[in-house]
């Protein structure tokens, strides 16, 4: 079987669950199968949008991120359910348990997709046999469909898994790139968004093939180093390894909300920031990190959006500090016009154990009183390990899970997945 594998290259699988949230609901309640089903946010408020939908719903034109009212207009018989994140997490954990039975090199990239490096997994069969077995097991054991891409690198594997949905298995080799990849428009390429595709059009690049042959200087001038990276991808080159530890690499933690109505009252906006600060604080503590930069996002009624941030002398994670700084930024940068969306983000994160604090005139007295206790805690940690005693701030409930967006849930999930893996 070893001869079915390349002597020098890698064999990468990208496993992508199909309409994951909707599929989990169908597995939980089989009466939903074959019906147009959508998972959406708060159905009572303006922010209710489609998180995902079944393929039956897609036939009517229902799409992810579409406002709920528009989806119901296209498909009056649409069944709408609120997200059940505990249910989705359990299903996802089950999926990754199956993947790890074939290789230790499994990299979750979100709750419903992950990469596998099966180069040394020839004992389980050929690459196509492994993919077929995984797809079959996930369907039989979890009652969930998935698509799998097989390729020599992560970019091509991701591209391949998108080519046939649902329940597809696609092999994409480097020799297939000119015929399968290059004729496609750039906006169909993984890593190229709508805005980037529009920029590429300004220099006459509309297809992936044209991007693959583009001038390096032109691309770098237009898109910076990312332009060169995209050209490499268009030529099928991607040297990133499958890294099980990469789920530790988070750079920011934030939360935002679209308001039920446009708000121009300062106190109402302050209350929204306090609620957002509480959620961000919980997520920072869950990951045992502190933020050294705090930013806010303000979107106005006309959809104009601004982001403003402040670098901090002392790392923070407490909701009161987060809320206070967010309010300061709002007062400084808010134009006074009605606000449609607010967000708070903590960036430049540092691990709690590596954080330092510069005492200032106002915090010195309070910190000085804590010093004997902190010295005792430090002594105990040095002697018995850093986890022997945790402060109350590091203990928290999962009660905020259902409040966050699907994106925030994905980030939180990745850390939990890491903690549960062997």
| pLDDT tens by residue, the chain, 422 residues | 777 888 889 999 999 999 999 999 999 999 999 999 999 876 555 457 898 999 999 999 999 888 888 999 999 999 999 888 889 989 999 999 999 999 999 998 888 999 999 999 999 999 999 999 999 999 999 999 999 999 999 999 999 999 999 999 999 999 999 999 999 999 999 989 888 999 999 999 999 999 999 999 999 999 998 999 999 999 999 999 999 876 655 567 889 898 989 999 999 999 999 999 999 999 888 877 888 889 999 999 888 888 899 988 788 999 999 999 999 999 999 999 999 999 999 988 877 655 544 444 444 445 444 545 545 555 555 555 545 545 444 444 333 333 344 444 555 555 556 555 55
CATH of 250-358+390-420 given 3.40.190.90, 3.30.1490.100, 2.40.37.20, 1.10.760.10: 3.30.1490.100
**16 a known binding residue?**
yes
Please report how the helices 20-28 and 85-99 are oriented relative to each other, as an axis angle in degrees rounded to 10: 100
Same fold, 1-171 and 250-358+390-420: no
Taking the domains of the chain in order of start, what are their residue ranges? 1-171, 176-234, 250-358+390-420
Does domain 176-234 fall under CATH 1.10.10.10? My reply is no
- Helix count and strand count (H, E) for the chain: 14, 12
**176 a known binding residue?**
no
Give residue for tokens 């408020």.
Answer: 45
Spatial contact of 151 and 172, defined as CB atoms under 8 Å apart: yes
In the set 113, 320, 365, 390, the catalytic residue is 113
In eight-state DSSP terms, residue 178 is I
**Dist CA 130 CA 146 (whole Å):** 14
Q: Tell me if residue 274 is catalytic.
A: no
| Fold entry, domain 1-171 | Alpha-Beta Plaits (3.30.70)
Q: How far is CA 334 from CA 293, 343, 347, in A?
A: 19, 13, 21
To 10 degrees, the CA torsion angle through 46, 50, 56, 58? 100
């Amino acid at each position: 079987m070893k001869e079915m594998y390349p002597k020098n290259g890698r064999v990468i699988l990208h496993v992508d669950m199909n309409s994951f949230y909707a599929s989990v609901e169908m597995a939980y309640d089989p009466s939903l199968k074959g019906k147009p089903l959508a998972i959406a946010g708060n159905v009572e408020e303006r922010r209710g949008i489609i998180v995902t939908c079944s393929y039956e719903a897609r036939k009517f034109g229902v799409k992810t991120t579409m406002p709920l009212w528009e989806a119901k207009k296209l498909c009056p018989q649409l069944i709408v359910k609120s997200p059940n994140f505990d249910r989705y997490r359990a299903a996802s954990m089950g999926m990754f348990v199956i993947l790890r039975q074939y290789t230790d090199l499994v990299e979750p990239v979100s709750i419903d997709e992950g990469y596998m490096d099966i180069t040394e997994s020839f004992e389980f069969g050929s690459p196509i046999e492994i993919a077929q077995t995984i797809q079959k097991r996930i369907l039989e054991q979890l009652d969930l469909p998935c698509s799998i891409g097989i390729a020599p690198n992560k970019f091509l594997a991701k591209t391949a898994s998108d080519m046939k949905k649902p329940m597809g298995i696609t092999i994409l080799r480097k020799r297939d790139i000119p015929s399968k990849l290059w004729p496609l428009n750039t906006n169909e390429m993984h890593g190229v968004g709508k805005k980037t595709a529009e920029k590429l059009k300004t220099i006459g690049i509309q297809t992936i093939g044209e991007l693959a042959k583009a001038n390096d200087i032109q691309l770098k001038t237009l898109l910076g180093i990312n332009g060169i990276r995209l050209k490499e991808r268009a030529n099928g080159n991607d040297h990133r390894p499958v890294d099980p530890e990469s789920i530790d690499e988070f750079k920011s933690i934030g939360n935002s909300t679209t308001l039920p109505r446009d708000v121009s009252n300062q106190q109402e906006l302050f209350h929204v920031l306090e609620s957002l600060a509480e959620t961000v604080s919980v997520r920072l503590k869950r990951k045992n990190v502190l933020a050294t930069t705090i930013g806010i996002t303000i979107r106005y009624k006309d959809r104009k959006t601004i982001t403003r941030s402040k670098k901090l002398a002392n790392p923070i994670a407490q909701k009161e500090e987060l809320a206070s700084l967010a309010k300061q930024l709002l007062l400084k940068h808010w134009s006074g016009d009605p606000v449609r969306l607010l967000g708070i983000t903590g960036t430049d994160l540092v691990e709690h154990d590596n954080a330092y604090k510069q005492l200032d005139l106002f915090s010195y007295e309070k910190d000085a009183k804590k010093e004997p206790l902190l010295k005792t805690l430090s002594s105990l940690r040095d002697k018995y390990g850093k986890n022997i005693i945790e402060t109350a701030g590091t203990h928290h409930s999962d009660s905020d899970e259902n409040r966050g967006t699907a994106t925030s849930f994905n980030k939180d999930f990745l850390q939990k997945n890491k903690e549960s893996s062997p």
